[in-house]
Amino acid sequence: MAPHTTSPSRKRRPLSEYSLRDILVVAVPLVLILLAGFWAASRFIRPAPPDTLVVSSGADGGAYQRFTSLYADVLARYDIKVVEKPSGGSLDNLARLRSGEQEIDAGFFQGGTGEPQEGDTLESLGAFYYEPLWVFYRAGIAPTGKLDQVLQLRDRRIAVGGPGSGTRHLALEVLSANGIDAGNSTLIDTGGLALVEKFRKGEIDAAFVAGPTQSAAVWSLLFTDGVKLMSLAHADAYARRLPYLSKIVLPRGAVDIGRDIPPADVTMVAATATLLVREDIHPALVDLLMQAAAETHGGPGVFHKPGDFPRAVAVGFPLSKEAERHYKSGKPFLQRYLPFWAATLIDRLVVMLIPVVALLLPIMRLAPALYGWRIRSRIYRRYGELKFLEAEVEQDASRHTRAEWLARLDAIESDVHHLPTPLAFSDMLYTLRSHIELVRDKVDKRTAAEA
């Protein structure tokens, strides 16, 4: 029989219709995988940084309030508003940060006034500056002209700082080391600028104040007539007994060279101050706080040289990982060249590039292979049918009549004609059709031989 040909009236449908379908069948699952990757990456993206930072500072006129104001000036350059919440001091700030009822992002903390507890999520931003313990006393209570031991304050009226303050905590620690308590002395819960008036009125004999030289209370007392500053003879002992304290020296004339204040070197002890934050604070805010701390505390001081602070040292609580990165690398790379809002936006979007790099590139390489495999698999399946029919003819051509064999071949050929095959794979399709003709010839020969 002459080779069977397709009827002229039978018209193939446009190949483009079928290629689009194949593309969709291959592309849709791959796109879903890519979207799943984007969704997974989005779980790790923090929201945009808030435009407000709430800081728990300290008592009115204290160093914590002054530093909060300086931080606010730095953050204002990045359109971040700092909201100050005055407090009693370090202990109050710690309690607020631990309380879920208080919406506090950061709070000043004096080393030694608290320790991590189970379930704490607080982190330190490093050592920011020294908080010296100043021991002032009325000149009239010193029979020999000066005092150099806290023990000499026994039986006196001593101001130990306000409730909730780091001053009170540290003062009671030092007084306890000397055996002084409310049973043998009068302890007055007063601090801040009120101490100046109490000294003038003779209502107190001594006062403990913890804070930097810039503290309003410290500065005022240094220039108050009739009030002297104690040089601690046991400073080394206190530093050994209370490990969070360091021995420091206030050089002669460091406060005012012209007026020779102080008139001699003063040996003191100091705690280290830091800023505590919750571990869920936005990393961009930590970066800004670190920049503010560097501008505020990085210069020279009477107790330190330029660059001594801030330092990558955990104060009371673990050091924040974001702060640790800042100590090592400085300001984030993008913030060095872009506005803060743009740098944070790009930083967040970079996380979304992970699925692009990890998934999109392999998908782009895999998609053509899958597409080709899908097209070839349809053609190979017809080859399998053709091969099976040929094997049957070789084994026993008499099993069917010539018309039955050719009907089966026609069915395969008709199926091939309707295969959705793009132009790029047409050569395989025409090769298959030529092989169908070869099998058709073989059927003719074998059935003729059997006849």
- Under the banding of pLDDT at 50, 70 and 90, the label for residue 303 is very high
Q: Give pLDDT, residue 14.
A: 46
In degrees, rounded to 5, the angle at the alpha carbon of residue 149 between the alpha carbons of residues 143 and 151 is 90
- What is the value of pTM for the model shown? 0.68
Q: Give pLDDT, residue 397.
A: 80
Q: Give pLDDT, residue 225.
A: 93
Model pLDDT for residues 216-226, shown as the tens digit of each residue:
899 999 999 99
How would you class 23 by CB atoms within 10 Å of its CB: exposed for 0-12, middle for 13-18, buried for 19 or more? Answer: middle
Model pLDDT for residues 126-156, shown as the tens digit of each residue:
999 999 999 999 998 987 778 999 999 999 9
Question: In this model, does residue 102 exceed pLDDT 70?
Answer: yes
CB under 8 Å to 272, separation ≥6 — which residues? 110, 111, 127, 128, 129, 130, 131, 244, 246, 313, 315
Model pLDDT for residues 186-214, shown as the tens digit of each residue:
999 999 899 999 999 999 999 999 999 88
Model pLDDT for residues 231-274, shown as the tens digit of each residue:
999 999 999 999 999 999 999 999 999 999 999 999 999 999 99
What are the sequence ranges of the domains in the chain?
Answer: 15-39+351-450
Q: Do the beta carbons of residue 205 and residue 198 sit within 8 Å?
A: no
For the chain, give the secondary structure using H, E and C.
CCCCCCCCCCCCCCHHHHHHHHHHHHHHHHHHHHHHHHHHHHCCCCCCCCCEEEEECCCCCCHHHHHHHHHHHHHHCCCCEEEEECCCCHHHHHHHHHCCCCCCCEEEEECCCCCCCCCCCEEECCECEEEEEEEEEEHHHCCCCCCCCHHHHCCCEEECCCCCCHHHHHHHHHHHHCCCCCCCCEEECCCCCHHHHHHHHCCCCEEEEECCCCCHHHHHHHCCCCEEECCCCCHHHHHHHCCCCEEEEECCCCCECCCCECCCCEEEEEEEEEEEEECCCCHHHHHHHHHHHHHHHCCCCCCCCCCCCCECCCCCCCECHHHHHHHHHCCCHHHHHCCHHHHHHHHHHHHHHHHHHHHHHHHHHHHHHHHHHHHHHHHHHHHHHHHHHHHHHHHCHHHCCHHHHHHHHHHHHHHHHCCCCCHHHHHHHHHHHHHHHHHHHHHHHHHHHHC
Question: In this model, does residue 166 exceed pLDDT 80?
Answer: yes
In degrees, rounded to 5, the angle at the alpha carbon of residue 171 between the alpha carbons of residues 229 and 203 is 60
Q: Give pLDDT, residue 370.
A: 80
24-38, 203-217, 375-389: which range is least confident on average?
A: 24-38
Distance (Å, whole) CA 376 – CA 359: 25
Q: How confident is the model over 384-402, as a mean pLDDT?
A: 84
